Structure 1
Amino acid sequence: MKSSIKALAIAFGAWLTISNGFLMVAGGSYNYKEALTKSLLFLEAQRSGKLPPNSRIPWRGDSALDDGKRSNVDLVGGYYDAGDNVKYGLPMAFTITTLAWSALAHQAELEATGELKNVHAAIRWGTDYFLKASSKRNKLWVQVGDPNADHQCWVRPENMNTPRTLYKIDENDPGTEIAAETAAAMAASSIVFRGNDRKYARSLLNKAKLLFEFAKNHQGTYDGECPFYCSFSGYNDELLWAASWLFMATKRDVYRKYITGEAITASVAEFSWDLKYAGAQILLSDSNLTGEDGLQNFKTQADNFVCAVLPDSPFHQIYISPGGLIHLRDGANTQYVTGTAFLFSIYSDILAKNHQTVSCGNQVIHPTRLREFAKQQMDYLLGSNPRSRSYMVGFGNKSPTQAHHRGASVPVLSPEKKVDCGTSFVNWYQKNQPNPNELTGAIVGGPDRYDNFEDLRSDSSKLEPCTYINSLAVGPLAKLAVHGA
């Protein structure tokens, strides 16, 4: 057995270990600073609107400059969520909330790597858009672009001619998930900007308060983003998430009382754009451990998340691939990988600061184990896997060349060029060759549950990148860049 493992190690070019019955490829040493920098470049490649003079993506240009015009509102800006040209409010807000949390939890590391300003710029690109989208009380513009029409044309955003249909929520057609997530994004971001732009931070916080009240007082699920972003988890997690960030931003008793008296919480094994309970529980666990009255149960539920994920926990629920990767479901599965690494990285610091551990029944899990698992998950994405390949475009060994992404896969065209949607898929989508524009830093959807992966653009579940995959990677990469393990 030992000799066969050694032979496999030589074949993979890495050391292999057996952990809880899984064949794990041990992480090597990566240039995490490079990975962090490139991860932020991908977010810049997702910008919509009028790009700044210092744009670092040479093949991207201005796009969607008339967004909102049909309803006499300025909705220029924001982010495209993935490889298409629609602006979806729910994943965009989650991207900004998690970026803001990284900027707060890993401020020192981001400063040390020289990337804090770029993170702040990425956050502000989103919050500037949200301020426009929420300019009217009890109304929030939540989507720009007809997704069905958009998906019928493989065209760069700079050349798109598909309908920029507008979607909103209001008192008559509520959307608690999106209103609450946008409130969370603006509350978290207000803390980020408090030290260097107090006026802007105040504007964000005031809007966050109004959006939370709107979400709380006009409850209802918005299904307009379905089937592309269906909120299967409901909106109670977003209400808790938003209230938690407003409590962090204000320390006001009204939010603490809502958290302890009205909000619904639950133990879960996932953290994603659709399910935020674990994030809120870890965020609140620090207040619990430092003596905030009434928040006692959140440390227990945060522990339950850890116990459900760790493969060596007696209560683990999450499938781990033979090569050691978290796999919850096909389609942007790497969001659960970076999401877990993100929360484990933050929670390990909270536990260490408060001299605490995680209890999984009779098993005690130390903060170092959380850091170790977070590193192992990130290392898998960067190359420590059975295929010895990177899942970040433009980084490491055998990185993806065919990201499922319109802007990257279509050559730069004249802004006046009219693209024929009927032939666009033949011209660019179906070609089995590398993208003409490198989508540097994009973490693609990743391998299947058996670690299988083929670099083929048409396989969107494996090759499509998303902003929230990368926003969740920023914190762990910054921490690894400075501290290593």
Structure 2
Amino acid sequence: MFAGKRNLKRVITLFSCVAMLSTTILIPMKNVSAAGYDYSLALKNAIGFYDANKCGKDVKTNNIFDWRGPCHTKDGQDVGLDLTGGYHDAGDHVKFGLPQGYTASVLGWALYEYDEVFKATGNKTKMLEQLKYFTDYFLKSHPDADTFYYQVGDGEEDHNYWGPPELQSEDRPTKCVANKNNPASDVLGETAAALAIMYLNYRDIDSAYANKCLQAAKELYKMGTTNKGPGDGQYFYRSTSIYDDLAWGAVWLYTATGDSSYINDAKEFIVVKNESGDDPFKKRWTMCWDDMYVPALVKLAEITGEKIYKDGVEYNLNYWMYDIQTTPGGLKYLNYWGVLRYAAAASMVAAIYYKQNPNQGYLDLLKSQIDYILGDNPEKMSYVIGMGNKWTQHPHHRAAQGAIGYADNANTAPAKYLLLGALIGGPGADDVFKESVYEYQYTEVAIDYNAGFVGALAATAKHFGNLNIPDVTKTPIPNPTPTPTSNTYLVGDVNHDNNINSIDYALMKSYLLGMKLPENTFFESEADVNGDGDINSVDYALLKQRLLGMISKFHVEE
């Protein structure tokens, strides 16, 4: 089992008998100092990379790459919808469901866990911009409660084209849809997680938008659990289990809502083995688009505190620290295809779990793998384009490569444009890197590659970048268990929608400012959260503390 599967037969046919290229870019070293690597700059560049893979009408908006522009502006026309937007998968231009849902959820998790790091390094605004580009597309792709379009473009047809997306045919199919007749529990679980996390990250910025994301997350999750089965994704992204994805969606919906039914679902799903029969509590893999068992265990351990989930996480991390194949140069070597994405993802998981169990070995794993990626390796090169003084000149990425077609080996020329911030696949088990656009296992880039890398960089910047940011473990909104009041609604549920969230907080603020509110949107009986017979700033402050998880219940509920 491994991620990033591609059509080997097709690639071998197209790229046979080609000599390995060995050109590299050499510039003065700028990003490494005596104190170490510039993790904040690496984080900035890794986030910015996503601009290179944007799709749709608004690609140029705030794009750091002036060589990218609008493309595929008619996506969805074959089903009568506007499905423009989203991100191209890798060096190709298909919008696949699993890697987009995975990437958006992992990037969102990184921001959720390391919000202060993104703020301190000046990267939060750009990070939110990238996340919203994902969720805007997800919301477009979900026209009603029972439908979700999750793939635009045909992998076979697309991979026969070598050129920039701006010049590719606008006539491409809306390939895959989830509905009552077509299950896609894996895609729906991942995407539900991404939308639920966006709610958490965005509720204090735009509560209306955040609540749209949460509602869509609930609907997609319901689709995935009501009609269980894997999605399509052609053979490029074939899932070996749906239950890890559903567990991942469930833990985040619980975190967003406090509804215990979600955590009960997660406990049920996490024990179901994948096709290979792997024990979910003794995993020898790591977080990737086809395996979300370990990150789901991290969240279950955090939420429940139960030993079974902690043991599952620690078994996996012990394997990564002590037992996994390690190259002579120190790289943890899980699989030959895009090896660095796994090392980065495992490092992110280790750093986040460190908050629950401050084992120094987890931070040692993190730093060793990130430093290897940035240049502390036998090749003395950076595996992140544009960092350090040496990196690949042949990333497997059509837009950056800039050539048109395969004629006369046009696609083998050095990349025309700098694909700043892209994490490439990485070296072999002997630490040797093969510099060729045809060695796509080594030189390919993809949105899922950078996802765990961004999270790991944020953690590295926190622990080794002199930011002096303390560990803060966020707690979910607790499952409300109020004592009875004058009606059946929850204390703090000022709009009677059976949920305590940022809408209640915004309504409370409007009420205290004397603003006129629409009828039946504000109920004073639930707004007096401290029970003193008055609605004032004290109630407002207590409601905020409840939403932030600082208090588990209001005094009147005790």
TM range, normalised to the smaller chain? 0.7 to 0.9
Query: What CA deviation, in whole Å up to 9, does each residue of 1:79-124 have, x standing for no partner?
Result: 0111001110110111100111011100111100000111111110
Q: Is the 8 A contact 1:113 1:482 kept in 2?
A: no
Aligned residue in 1 for 2:233: 225
CA distance in structure 1 between the partners assigned to 2:263 and 2:448 by the alignment: 28
CA distance in structure 1 between the partners assigned to 2:226 and 2:319 by the alignment: 33
Q: Which has the larger radius of gyration?
A: 2
Aligned residue in 1 for 2:544: none
Say which of 348, 355, 371 aligns to 1:349: 355
SS at match of 1:141: strand
CA distance in structure 2 between the partners assigned to 1:472 and 1:48 by the alignment: 21
The amino acid across from 1:342 in the alignment is M
SS at match of 1:220: coil
Q: Is the 8 A contact 2:74 2:171 kept in 1?
A: no
SS at match of 1:35: helix
CA distance in structure 2 between the partners assigned to 1:205 and 1:59 by the alignment: 35
Say which of 321, 324, 341 aligns to 2:327: 321
Higher relative contact order (CA 8 A, sep 6+): 1
- Alignment root-mean-square deviation, CA: 1.7
Aligned residue in 1 for 2:28: none
Aligned residue in 2 for 1:414: none
Runs of 4+ aligned residues of structure 1 deviating over 4 Å after TM superposition are: none
The amino acid across from 1:306 in the alignment is L
SS at match of 2:37: coil
The amino acid across from 2:163 in the alignment is V
CA distance in structure 1 between the partners assigned to 2:40 and 2:407 by the alignment: 36
Say which of 308, 312, 315 aligns to 1:304: 315
Q: Is the 8 A contact 1:149 1:162 kept in 2?
A: no
Aligned residue in 1 for 2:191: 182
Query: What CA deviation, in whole Å up to 9, does each residue of 1:34-86 have, x standing for no partner?
Result: 11111111111111112253221111111111000111111100001110011
Say which of 325, 337, 341 aligns to 1:335: 341
Kindly report which structure 2 residues correspond to 1:251-262, keeping only aligned pairs within 5 A, or say none. 251-261=258-268
Q: Does 1:275 align with 2:285?
A: no
Q: Is the 8 A contact 2:60 2:69 kept in 1?
A: no
Aligned residue in 2 for 1:244: 251
Say which of 47, 59, 68 aligns to 1:51: 59
Aligned residue in 2 for 1:390: 382
Q: Does 1:32 align with 2:39?
A: yes
Query: What CA deviation, in whole Å up to 9, does each residue of 1:190-218 have, x standing for no partner?
Result: 11101111111111111111111110110
Aligned-pair CA distance for 1:170: 1.5
The alignment covers a number of residue pairs equal to 421
Q: Give the TM-score of the pair, scaled to structure 2.
A: 0.73
Aligned residue in 1 for 2:365: 373
Q: Is the 8 A contact 2:72 2:169 kept in 1?
A: no
Q: Is the 8 A contact 1:63 1:158 kept in 2?
A: yes
Aligned residue in 2 for 1:406: 398
CA distance in structure 1 between the partners assigned to 2:61 and 2:185 by the alignment: 37
SS at match of 1:394: coil
Q: Does 1:200 align with 2:180?
A: no
CA distance in structure 1 between the partners assigned to 2:267 and 2:200 by the alignment: 22
CA distance in structure 1 between the partners assigned to 2:35 and 2:244 by the alignment: 37
Aligned-pair CA distance for 1:189: 1.2
Q: Is the 8 A contact 2:374 2:383 kept in 1?
A: yes
SS at match of 2:82: coil
Q: Does 1:66 align with 2:74?
A: yes
Aligned residue in 1 for 2:447: 467
Query: What CA deviation, in whole Å up to 9, does each residue of 1:308-357 have, x standing for no partner?
Result: 2112xxxx3x22222111222222222101101110111112323xxxxx
The amino acid across from 2:464 in the alignment is G
The amino acid across from 2:85 in the alignment is G
Taking structure 1 as reference, are residues 371 and 425 closer, same or farther at Cα in structure 2, changes over 3 Å only? Answer: farther
Taking structure 1 as reference, are residues 36 and 207 closer, same or farther at Cα in structure 2, changes over 3 Å only? Answer: same
Q: Is the 8 A contact 2:60 2:70 kept in 1?
A: no
Kindly report which structure 2 residues correspond to 1:133-212, keeping only aligned pairs within 5 A, or say none. 133-161=141-169, 163-166=171-174, 167-212=176-221
Q: Does 1:430 align with 2:412?
A: yes
SS at match of 1:351: coil
Taking structure 1 as reference, are residues 101 and 287 closer, same or farther at Cα in structure 2, changes over 3 Å only? Answer: same
Aligned-pair CA distance for 1:168: 1.0
Identity in percent: 31
SS at match of 2:303: helix
Aligned-pair CA distance for 1:478: 2.1
The amino acid across from 2:424 in the alignment is V
Q: Is the 8 A contact 1:149 1:163 kept in 2?
A: no
CA distance in structure 1 between the partners assigned to 2:208 and 2:145 by the alignment: 20
CA distance in structure 2 between the partners assigned to 1:288 and 1:435 by the alignment: 49
SS at match of 2:356: helix
Q: Give the TM-score of the pair, scaled to structure 1.
A: 0.84
The amino acid across from 1:205 in the alignment is L
Aligned residue in 1 for 2:24: none
Aligned-pair CA distance for 1:28: 7.2
Say which of 438, 443, 449 aligns to 2:423: 443
SS at match of 2:112: helix
Give unmatched runs, 5+ long, in structure 2: 1-33, 273-279, 466-558
Kindly report which structure 2 residues correspond to 1:411-422, keeping only aligned pairs within 5 A, or say none. none
Q: Does 1:479 align with 2:486?
A: no
Q: Is the 8 A contact 2:186 2:242 kept in 1?
A: yes
CA distance in structure 2 between the partners assigned to 1:179 and 1:443 by the alignment: 27
Q: Does 1:286 align with 2:268?
A: no
Q: Is the 8 A contact 1:394 1:400 kept in 2?
A: no
CA distance in structure 2 between the partners assigned to 1:458 and 1:282 by the alignment: 37
CA distance in structure 2 between the partners assigned to 1:187 and 1:381 by the alignment: 31
Taking structure 1 as reference, are residues 141 and 425 closer, same or farther at Cα in structure 2, changes over 3 Å only? Answer: farther
